[in-house]
Structure 1
Amino acid sequence: MTFQKRRKTLRATLSSSACIRPGSVYDAISIRIAEDLGFELGMFGGSVASLAVLGDPDIALITLTELAEQMRRMSRASALPVLVDADHGYGNALNVRRTIEELEAAGAAGLTIEDTLLPQAFGETKTQLISLEEGLGKVKAALDARRDPSLVIVGRTGAVSIASLDDAIERARAYEAAGVDALFFTGIKAKAELEAISGATRLPLILGGAPEAMSDLAYLREQRVRIALQGHAPISAATKAVYDTLKALREGLPSKVLTGLASADLTARVTRETLVGARSALFLGTKR
């Protein structure tokens, strides 16, 4: 599947009447698993990118080059469309243009640009926002940098919890007027907040970090939410599995009695062993 087809698939999701939950992906194996399980979309979060690439917490240490290269690896491994958390665009509005260029070339189906002040300012312990004017400049720069018109660009804000609901709506309307394809909100804690946002905007909505009371997909559909994130459990589960396995081996447990390991069949499927074997036979003359 070409990059453009992946992007059109994401656009079809946003224009539908359904609300989906994407699979959290972070490397070649995780994206293949998500694809094989039937997920319509992968979500490559900034926090999991930092964990997978650097082993660091989500404090904006990862670089654009590292993020784009990881996306490139996933694009090679799977045709699953991926929405990338591009954080603040790695700098000012001109840096945002470069971010769009690199992630578009790496095969992202869509990406989000947020108005959080990143990295954290000296002496500040609370999350801060950039001004609406600066945020709007970043959004416009992102749209200007897009070369494939099917690439999805999403304006993201956490203003609901950082500033106020009114501020979040003002920012969303400005990003909407600038021409983004969807709006991404974090920090929404109550149905009344989501309903106010839905009533004040027109674009498809993407929701991150909502409480359990807002997990009903039928309700979210009514509020025009088309993508509802469900956290990044896969990388957390993988970390626990690796830890437990290495701990058991370190403590002397024989490898043949370990539990929770991938079967030979599962390993063959996610590594596309049959396909690789067929190519070896075709191009190298190997016997299957």
Structure 2
Amino acid sequence: MAFRSRREKLRSILSGSDCVHPGSVYDAISTRIAEDLGFPLGMFGGSVASLAVLGDPDIALITLTELAEQMRRMSRAAALPVLVDADHGYGNALNVRRTVQELETAGAAGLTIEDTLLPAGFGESKTHLISLEEGVGKMKAALGGRSDPSLVIMGRTGAASITSLDDTIRRALAYEATGVDALFFTGIKSRTELEAISAATRLPIVLGGAPEELNALDHLASQRVRIALQGHAPIAAATQAVYDTLKTLREGTAPKNLKGLASSELTSRIMREADVKSRSADVLGLKK
């Protein structure tokens, strides 16, 4: 399959002994930049997907179709393996199956399915989890929807910040038993919690946001953490840059006097201009 090598690279990270930081990506350009800089993996988060596609906050407004189409654009642009935050799978367990099918054909190297109750219910301001039984059903459906066995499917829970450490471990063990490839945790607050989770489980671990004491890659690696997210700074930086540039132009600065713009060399490299010119010479008879 066309995307199998990307998925095998992600599996190699999970089966290795090191912990890596993925590059936060959200569109074709950011994915190419992360690949050019040598990131071993891209992370396509739900919050950046909602912001990049809709300009909306991360409150489960983006649809599966929109997420998959954006992933398809990113897959076309670069060969970087990308792990996709597939939220709750966009519905019940049957919807989860469809989510896996769509993201697999869109080129994702892996995806996460979480047990958060989404979207928020009427009158509910607090985050809730679905039942353990429903969570297990979603993991089984995700695995059943996979056609390419190299596609990585991760069971994700935020129980550490919503219910308890004991519930986190209980859910992790149940998801592990379904046959998922890795466990993704958010809300872990200390080394003690991570060590308890690591001791109770056996699958590779992926960490979402974590406190400063969980930043040391050597300690994370010793606890079987193979991927540790660093938030989504790139889209925040891009937003600020666009804002500042448009504001400066609006205030009357001439385009030639703008600061901080990408050089023509960098832009040319990101758009793969040399490759396009070479192909144009070969098939259109144009001069290189």
* TM-score grouping bracket, smaller chain normalisation: over 0.9
User: Corresponding residue for 1:110?
Assistant: 110
**Which residue in the other structure is 1:285 paired with?**
285
**1:170 corresponds to which residue?**
170
Which residue of structure 2 lines up, in the alignment, with residue 5 of structure 1?
5
TM-score by length of 1: 0.99
| Structure 1 ranges of 4+ moved more than 2 A | none
* Cα distance, 1:213 vs structure 2: 1.2
Q: Secondary structure at the match of 1:76?
A: helix
Within 1, Cα distance between the matches of 2:146 and 2:114?
17
Mapped pair 1:98 → 2:98: yes
Equivalent residue letter for 1:252: G
Q: Which residue of 2 aligns with 1:54?
A: 54
Q: Which amino acid aligns with 1:259?
A: K
| Unmatched segments (≥5 aa) in structure 2 | none
Q: State the shift of 1:35 in Å.
A: 0.1
**3-state DSSP class of the match of 1:83?**
strand
Shift of 1:13: 0.3
Query: Aligned runs of 1:1-288 on 2, under 5 Å?
Result: 2-288=2-288
Provide, for residues 48-86 of structure 1, a one-character-per-residue CA deviation record: whole Å limited to 9, x for no partner.
Answer: 000000000000000000000000000000000000000
Question: 2:116, 2:149 → 1: CA distance?
Answer: 26
Query: Partners in 1 of 2:177 and 2:98 — Cα distance?
Result: 22
Q: How many residues align?
A: 288
Deviation, 1:88, is 0.1
1:115-138 CA distance string (max 9 Å, x none): 000000110001000000000000
CA distance in 1, matches of 2:197, 2:78: 35
Per-residue CA deviations over 1:219-245 (Å, capped at 9, x if unaligned) read 000110000000000000000000000
* TM-score (structure 2 length as normaliser): 0.99
For residue 230 of structure 2, give the secondary structure of its aligned residue in structure 1.
coil
1:212, CA displacement in angstroms? 1.0
SS at match of 2:39: coil
Unaligned runs of 5+ in 1: none
What residue identity is the alignment partner of 1:283?
Answer: V
Shift of residue 211, structure 1, vs aligned partner: 0.7
CA distance in 1, matches of 2:282, 2:119: 50
The SS at the match of 1:12 is helix
Structure-1 separation of matches of 2:96 and 2:196: 29
CA distance in 1, matches of 2:77, 2:222: 35
Quick one: distance in 2 between partners of 1:105 and 1:188?
32
**Partner Cα separation in structure 2 for residue 92 and residue 284 of structure 1:** 50
* Percent sequence identity over aligned pairs: 76
Supply the distance in 1 between the matched residues of 2:246 and 2:15 (Cα, whole angstroms): 45
| SS of equivalent residue, structure 2 residue 84 | strand
C-alpha distance in 2, partners of 1:124/1:223? 35
The Cα of 1:2 is off from its aligned counterpart by 2.8
